[in-house]
A and B are shown apart, each in its own frame.
Chain A
């Protein structure tokens, strides 16, 4: 009995370009934004994590149900993986 993921590698290579394209476009688009022009960026809904408790719960659930994890933090502990 085999269980193979035949096309995943091919698709992976293309999808790896996605963050690179975003990063390049982002840096290309950089302009000087004065401090008084940054009001929209300070809005609650523009935070990286507007609801940290919700993000923490999601991360914990996905960590316990899926095979991969990892984000921009120094991580936590525990399992909950039965």
Chain B
């Protein structure tokens, strides 16, 4: 099993290296700075559903998981004739309880050991992307900084796009680097400060298929090195490196007779922790009238488990182990509905999404479902204004 998956990873790595470096635009036509300055704001709130009392250790911790609020701000502005600056700022607050680990229940299945509902954290994320536009392409430099009470990260990136074939084909590529430091809340036996870095690279190609459709495919390779464990888990020891490949394919098709656009996305993910995942996303952008668009969406996700995942924590065994639900086998669906009211220089956005993760939704058979799998409802309101 492990050999076969490693072979798959090697094959995808070879495919990635065989594609010449280059990129795809956010818009398959011209390449020029925006003509107006655009400002945007989004407020999002989501509440993770409570853990069932029967899924946790009795009288330990809370059933109430995270309540998260996010404010997003964005400014996109032209600078001179050939440049643009795209800056985003996120302010996120979260509070609630989190799984610390699992123990074996009376029926043999895992029970969650929950923290108290007293965890509070604030996250700030600033990203600035400066783009230089050329006649047949563009180049961007990206810088970012994010911080939480116990976490700090810097990231840098370079991206480029080149249009060829009378702008029917766009080549794309980029590299990125992130340097992260974690300083967990002090506790006996817990690490005090650890670091990791992540290097990423991607290449891709977009092709205009006809006057109504366009296709993009790209491969992203990421390598992380350093402390990749979760210091807050009771038992958690992960490998000190991780290599992954994500192959994304995106398709856009405009249906003139219905005045609607269909978005179809697929991602295949493979890594050297033996995890494989599939993600399919479908969106239907339906114009109701010249000032209103409604967008129903559906996303399906399925992942296999990491090779060192253990549904029940065992203290004292050697080697890598983790009972984190994120490393367990599961599937998930997201149902969404958005509405965008817009005029020539403004937009108002309202959207709702429901996310449900479950062992039964996985592509394969999950013998023991992790009791910490998530469900949540995400609500967003916001606006964009151009001047």
Contacts and interface: CB of A to CB of B under 8 A. Distances in A.
A38 B202 contact: no
A34 to B, nearest CB: 9
Interface string B178-215: 11101000000000000000101010100111111111
Chain B interface SS verdict (over half): strand
Interface string A54-82: 10110011100111111111111111111
Contacts of A4: 329, 365, 367
B311 A3 contact: yes
B28 A74 contact: no
Contacts of B172: 72
Interface string B8-25: 100000000000000111
Interface in B58-104: 66, 70, 72, 74, 88, 90, 92, 94, 98, 104
B301 A73 contact: no
Contact of A75 (B1, B155, B218): B155
A82 B329 contact: no
B10 to A, nearest CB: 14
Interface residues of B, number: 134
Contacts of A26: 207, 209, 213, 215, 251
B159 interface: yes
Contacts of B148: 78-80
A77 B154 contact: yes
Nearest to B359: A3
Interface size class of A (residues with CB under 8 A): 35 or more
B354 interface: no
B250 A48 contact: yes
Contacts of A12: 276, 278, 363
B271 A68 contact: yes
A82 B167 CA distance: 44
Contacts of A23: 215, 217, 249
B33 interface: no
B94 A1 contact: no
A78 B29 CA distance: 33
Closest 7 CB pairs of A and B: A70-B246, A74-B157, A77-B153, A74-B176, A78-B146, A8-B364, A45-B285
Interface of B: 1, 4-5, 8, 23-30, 40, 42, 44, 46, 66, 70, 72, 74, 88, 90, 92, 94, 98, 104, 108, 110, 119, 121, 123, 125, 127, 142, 144-148, 151, 153-155, 157-159, 166-168, 172, 174-176, 178-180, 182, 198, 200, 202, 204, 207-218, 220, 222, 230, 232, 244-252, 254, 256, 260-261, 266-269, 271, 275-278, 285, 287, 293, 301-306, 309-312, 326-329, 332, 338, 340, 349, 351, 355, 357, 362-368, 374, 378, 380, 382
